[in-house]
Amino acid sequence: MPVGAPSGGHHLEVERLLADMAGWGESRNDIEAIGLVGSYARGQAHVTSDVDIVILTPAFADLAADTSWFRRLRANSHLVRSATWGPLLECRHRMASGLLVELGLVAPTWAELPLDPGTRRVLGDGHRIVHDPHSLLARAREWLSENSPQE
């Protein structure tokens, strides 16, 4: 394992979280997509890396205002910070293990084609589809592959 890489326990914790997030998304009809982005999606996470998850839903403001839904998924987590980044509402949680999970809650229009520069940067930097019943992220991935600069 490279120096500074997360422990196998953190990788297992992240995989369990993603599986639980997928199940949670499947149980709700207002969750249009969930994706893993950032260093964990690229396979370049370090010991201090957070887990970046984007959730596309028309209920993004309600989910950001009341994060008890996430505490039901991860009972020993607590909200560390909330912030707004353009159209995205961030809710950062710390797990009992110390792992930070950054939930980016955003309207499904975030993934509309053509992708805006911010979405293009986030998804183009690497993403993994967790839950995508409406193929929003799949279409964005296809669009990115067709519109990426040729090397």
In tens, the pLDDT along 53-78 reads 999 999 999 999 999 999 999 999 99
Q: How far apart are the first and last CA of the chain?
A: 30
Pick from 33, 35, 36, 73: nearest CA to 57: 33
Pick from 133, 138, 137: nearest CA to 30: 133
**Contact assessment for residue 27 and residue 9, using Cβ atoms and an 8 Å cutoff:** no
The confidence score (pLDDT) of residue 116 equals 93
Per residue in 38-53, pLDDT tens?
999 999 998 889 999 9
Per residue in 13-23, pLDDT tens?
999 999 999 99
**Domain boundaries 8-147, corresponding CATH code:** 3.30.460.10
Confidence of residue 1 (pLDDT cuts 50, 70, 90): very low
Confidence of residue 149 (pLDDT cuts 50, 70, 90): confident
The model's pTM:
0.91
